């Protein structure tokens, strides 16, 4: 979500990057996005910090997405997600493929019994969708200032 053109790919609304620093060694951005939920849960707002950097020796890229709930004023009509700590580790393999490791922790503010029932399917579907996305030309051709291709 470091680029507004990815908003439709991930199903959010009103995506906005409101602070960003990009150098050849790192990327850091604060963004907000709204996620409509079924009734009666309303719209959830995620205000997050996204950063990534590449290990120059191994080529590994570590992407962190963390909640930053106080980074901007709340949006009326939404409730804010305050627990979010996701990490994506992309490691180049000798055969040219990339190993993709994901660690995630998010609390969408839903009742825990509902979360426990719904999350396995949502995670499976979300990861399946992401896998399809990264294989599209849009993502295969993407270039980032702070990430060097081998």
The pLDDT tens digits of the residues spanning 50-97 come to 999 999 999 999 999 999 999 999 999 999 999 999 999 999 999 988
Whether pLDDT at 10 is above 80: no
- Which residues are bridge partners to 81 per DSSP? 46
For residue 99, give both structure tokens.
């190993």
Contact 83, 105 (CB under 8 A): yes
Report how far residue 50's alpha carbon sits from residue 66's, in angstroms, rounded to the nearest whole number.
Answer: 7
Q: What is the pLDDT of residue 146?
A: 84
Task: Specify which of 65-79, 92-106, 115-129 reaches the highest per-range mean pLDDT.
Answer: 65-79
Q: Which two tokens mark 95?
A: 């055969």
pTM above 0.85, yes or no: no
* pLDDT value, residue 3: 64
């Amino acid at each position: 979500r470091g680029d507004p053109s990815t908003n439709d790919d991930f199903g959010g609304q009103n995506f906005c990057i409101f602070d960003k620093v990009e150098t050849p060694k790192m990327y850091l951005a604060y963004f907000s996005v709204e996620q409509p939920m079924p009734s009666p849960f309303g719209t959830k707002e995620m205000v997050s910090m996204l950063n990534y950097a590449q290990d120059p020796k191994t080529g590994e890229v570590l992407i962190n997405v963390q909640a930053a709930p106080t980074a901007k004023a709340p949006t009326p009509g939404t409730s804010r997600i305050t627990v979010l700590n996701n990490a994506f580790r992309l490691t180049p393999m000798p055969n040219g493929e990339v190993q993709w490791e994901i660690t995630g922790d998010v609390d969408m503010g839903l009742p825990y019994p509902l979360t426990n029932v719904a999350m396995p399917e949502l995670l499976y579907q979300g990861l399946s969708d992401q896998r399809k996305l990264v294989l599209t030309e849009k993502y295969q051709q993407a270039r980032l200032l702070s990430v060097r291709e081998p």
